[in-house]
């Protein structure tokens, strides 16, 4: 009887394998347009970068969070940085890394986190410029990327909230 069960199990496995082979790989889809094709623009000014950092720090203080905040220009160069009193030291480079990724890749750093956690794209972690943590957001003005902001010090979701609040403050001006 056990051999019948083994044959039955094997035939089910082969059927499942055949069915999965017939399904198309979503990564084989070819989009009509280039994704994340936002053109680079002139670099963010120091005054504007400092204003973003001030907005991020104000939101952080309101919530009782200690953050490191970095602003990169459209060439991925550091324009301004602030470490709040008591913010963890390791997060200095993480905030910079998040902002650098966001401007170079023209997308939020959350995109990598989603690919790693939801689609198991673990290989992305081996690439130099990638960071799989939210809290890096491109800054777009008049349809052009002028830089990016990166925050680190809390959880990824806390970092993201602070970055978004700062980016939204830029849009209100």
CB atoms within 10 A of CB 75: 11
β-sheet with 78-83: strand ranges across:
78-83, 68-73, 144-152, 136-141
Q: Look at residue 13 in the predicted model and tell me its pLDDT.
A: 52
pLDDT of residue 106: 95
Q: What is the pTM (predicted TM-score) of this model?
A: 0.81
**Residue-level pLDDT at 78:** 98
Residues 40 and 144: beta-carbon distance below 8 Å: yes
d(CA 35, CA 92): 30
Do 101 and 136 meet the contact criterion of CB atoms below 8 Å apart? Answer: yes
* Sequence spans of domains, the chain: 46-171
Q: What is the CA radius of gyration of the chain?
A: 22
Q: Convert the pLDDT of each residue in 8-26 to its tens digit.
A: 454 555 455 555 556 677 7
Catalogue the long-range contacts made by 81-85 (C-beta closer than 8 Å, 24 or more residues apart): 81/53, 82/53, 82/56, 82/57, 84/57, 84/60, 84/153
DSSP state of 40: B
What is the CATH code for 46-171?
Answer: 3.30.450.150
The CA-to-CA distance between both ends of the chain, in Å, stands at 77
pLDDT at 109 over 80: yes
Q: Which band of pLDDT confidence, cut at 50, 70 and 90, is reported for residue 121?
A: confident
Q: DSSP state, 166?
A: H
pLDDT tens-digit series, residues 31-48 = 898 888 899 999 999 999
């Amino acid at each position: 009887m056990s051999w019948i069960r083994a044959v039955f199990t094997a035939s089910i496995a082969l059927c499942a394998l055949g069915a999965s082979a017939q399904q198309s790989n979503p990564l084989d889809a070819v989009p009509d347009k280039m994704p994340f094709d936002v053109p680079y623009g002139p670099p963010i000014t120091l005054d504007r970068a400092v204003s973003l950092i001030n907005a991020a720090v104000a939101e952080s203080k309101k919530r009782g969070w200690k953050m490191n905040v970095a602003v990169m220009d459209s060439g991925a160069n550091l324009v301004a940085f602030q470490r709040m009193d008591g913010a963890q030291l390791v997060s200095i480079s993480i905030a910079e890394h998040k902002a650098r990724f966001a401007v170079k890749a023209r997308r939020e750093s959350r995109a990598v986190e989603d690919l790693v956690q939801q689609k198991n794209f673990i290989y992305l972690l081996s690439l130099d410029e990638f960071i799989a943590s939210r809290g890096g957001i491109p800054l777009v003005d008049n349809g052009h990327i002028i830089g990016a902001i990166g925050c680190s010090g809390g959880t990824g979701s806390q970092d993201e909230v602070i970055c978004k609040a700062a980016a939204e403050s830029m849009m209100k001006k």
